[in-house]
Amino acid sequence: MVNMKLHLKICFCSALYLLISSCSERPSSSGGTDRIGLLVIQPEHFHAALVQKYKNPEIDPEVYLFADTVSSVEAYQNLIQQYNSRDQDPTDWKVISYYGYDFLEKAFKGNSGNVVVLAGDNQQKIDFISQSVQHGKDVFADKPLVINEEGYSKLSELLNAASAQAPLIYDIMTERYDIKNLIVKSLLNDTEFSGGVSKEGAEAAVQFNSTHHFIKEVSGKPLIRPAMFYNTLKQGEGLVDVTTHYIDLVYWMLSSEQVIDVRKDLRLDSSFRWQTRLRKSDFERSTGLKQYPDMVLDAQTKSGDLAVYSNGKMDFSFKGIPVSIAVQWKVESLDNKGDQFSASFKTKKFRLEIKPDGQGTMAVFVAPNRLNDKFEDELRQSLQSIKDLPGLDIEQEKGAYKITIPKSLYLSHEDHFAKVLAQFISYRKVKSLPDWEKSFMLAKYYLTTQALAKAKTIEHEKD
């Protein structure tokens, strides 16, 4: 009975879409106007909905959705409904849906939007991107755009062949808008104060480390993950997923708005991959599914566990600066500290760290290499010179200076999405990406896919 209702709902939604697309006399948002009309394709990750969390005068409230089944996009639809019905600043999205095995073919027939939003199956994503570009649609996509060498080859071909008026391809790099990263970038590039990044010593000059958990709560509720999350052929391994954000930060902090030459500026030194093991009960808690679906059976061990290659570490040099990035996933946080992140940057005059403070709040710390009476004043002066970040101050904590940040400067994860969207819209208005943005994408995915292709498989993280 439930399946019959689902079938009828799919048929009704699909028929409604075909009726609207064939009979509507209203000009499409993609028909000769710069206003954005969203075309959302198979949004299996909730990041697709975050693009629509707020109203935007640049975006038509009429949105087209194409997917294989109703159930595959239930989370997306629920979030859009939540945004439309909230008391404060409700949105007014009108989602016109089509469901069916031929959803991709139907997505590009008629006037159904001019900007494709992608967040979901990372293996299929590059083919969705290619189809979008072939049909003259711009692309605004969640990371990663590609997860293997084959995907990188397709992306490289698309970006290198793009003419001045070609559709845009842009990935959602939210971390550039985190206040802590903005501060670090400014201090690193104030070379009179920092002396520049230090390349000396055995330790990498730039390090990123993060630990994530498959089972966790978000806003006080258990996070339900799609089964696809445990299929690394679709989701991507640890070396090619979360690492994209950290690599982008390396480029953005150390070479902002400068074109990257992959052959001259990058050298991969080593890469490693290893598994996280989940029991069947862990999988059930994470997904709500009592049985393994076919898509994750390749990861099943003889004992019935899942072995997921979600962990990775890479060491490389960028313009001669040694960098180390490590990402690992655990089943759940046993100490209740949740996901953890840290980063460090060595300069000739001080060391910068992003890490939790004494209260467990993420903060930026500055530790001088040598004590002197002038350092504190020089640090204050450098902070005060940061454009658009008023009110930054410092206090001493554990032998270093902690940068205190006014609450008004903090943005939420959703606000970061809005910032990236605004940047994309500004690029779209001039109908092109800067050359440095294109080079960042190519250099980023070249590095991740090469790291995976050349990775050594190990039992645990290399010491």
The string of DSSP letters for 150-204 reads HHHHHHHHHHHH--TTSPPEEE--GGGG-HHHHHHHHHHH-HHHH-SB---SSS-
The pLDDT value recorded for residue 217 is 86
Residue-wise over 78-87: b if at least 16 C-beta within 10 A, else e?
A: ebbeebeeee
Residue 12 has pLDDT above 50, yes or no: no
Q: What's the CA gap between 443 and 308, in Å, rounded?
A: 26
Instruction: Map out the domains of the chain with their CATH numbers.
Output: 2-172 (3.40.50.720), 175-457 (3.30.360.10)
Burial of residue 112, with CB atoms counted within 10 A of its CB: 0-12 exposed, 13-18 middle, 19 or more buried: buried
Residue 263: is it exposed, middle or buried by C-beta count within 10 angstroms (0-12/13-18/19+)? exposed
pLDDT at 320 over 80: yes
Strands 138-141 and 115-118: parallel
Average pLDDT over residues 306-312: 97
User: What CA–CA distances, in Å, run from 35 to 58, 66, 82, 142, 446?
Assistant: 6, 20, 24, 21, 33
Amino acid identity of residue 348, one-letter, is K
> Is the predicted pLDDT of residue 27 greater than 70, yes or no?
no
Amino acid letter for position 301: T
Which amino acid is located at 395 in the chain? E
Model confidence at 31: pLDDT above 90: no
C-alpha span between 198 and 347 (Å, rounded)? 5
Q: What is the pLDDT of residue 437?
A: 97
**Residue 24 has what pLDDT?**
37
- Residue for token digits 């902002």? 256
Pairing state of beta strands 62-67 and 94-99? parallel
Longest dimension (CA), the chain: 77
pLDDT band at 10 (very low <50, low <70, confident <90, very high): very low
The half-sphere exposure of 242 on its side-chain side, counting CA atoms within 13 A, is 21
The two three-digit tokens of residue 146, written as one number: 């590609």
**Higher-pLDDT residue of 342, 222:** 342
The predicted pLDDT at position 188 comes to 97
Q: Is the pLDDT of residue 172 over 50?
A: yes
pLDDT at site 461? 57
pLDDT score for 443: 98
Residue 432, pLDDT above cutoff 60:
yes
Q: How confident is the model at residue 252 (pLDDT cuts 50, 70, 90)?
A: very high
24-28, 64-68, 262-266: least confident range = 24-28
Instruction: Tell me the one-letter amino acid at 14.
Output: S
pLDDT surpassing 60 at residue 304? yes
Mean pLDDT of 294-323: 96
- Considering 122-131, 226-235, 352-361, 391-400, the range whose residues carry the highest mean pLDDT is 122-131
CA 213 to chain centre: 17
Query: Any idea what the Cα angle at residue 205 is, between residues 268 and 371, rounded to 5°?
Result: 175
Confidence of residue 21 (pLDDT cuts 50, 70, 90): very low
Cβ–Cβ under 8 Å, residues 376 and 401: yes
pLDDT in tens, 209-233: 999 999 998 767 788 888 999 999 9
Ramachandran sector of residue 6 (left: φ over 0; alpha: ψ -120 to 50; beta: rest): alpha
Is the pLDDT score of 451 beyond 70? yes
Least trusted range by pLDDT, from 21-35, 173-187, 364-378, 410-424:
21-35
User: Quick one: pLDDT at residue 26?
Assistant: 34
pLDDT band at 8 (very low <50, low <70, confident <90, very high): very low
- pLDDT at position 9 over 80: no
3-state secondary structure at position 148: coil
Cα–Cα distance between 244 and 441 in angstroms, integer?
Answer: 9
Tokens coding 393: 């101050």
Q: Which residue has the higher pLDDT, 2 or 278?
A: 278
Helices (H), 209-368: 232-235, 243-254, 262-265, 280-287
User: Does the pLDDT of residue 346 top 90, yes or no?
Assistant: yes
Q: What is the CA radius of gyration of the chain?
A: 23
Question: If we measure between CA atoms, which residue out of 44, 91, 49, 92 comes closest to residue 67?
Answer: 44
**pLDDT range class, residue 5, cuts 50, 70, 90:** very low
Q: How many CA atoms lie within 13 A of 151 on its CB side?
A: 28
Contact status, residue 315 vs residue 322, Cβ threshold 8 Å: yes
Contact 33, 60 (CB under 8 A): no
pLDDT of residue 219: 61
Chain centroid, CA 255 distance in Å: 20
pLDDT over 60 (residue 15): no
Q: What is the C-alpha to C-alpha distance for residues 369 and 348, in angstroms, rounded to an integer?
A: 8
The pTM assigned to this predicted structure is: 0.90
Quote the pLDDT of residue 365. Answer: 98
Distance CA(23)–CA(118), nearest Å, equals 27
Q: Tell me the percentage of the chain whose pLDDT exceeds 90.
A: 80
Closest CA to 239 of 210, 202, 282, 277: 210
Minimal CA–CA distance to 191: which of 400, 382, 351?
382
* Residue-level pLDDT at 399: 83
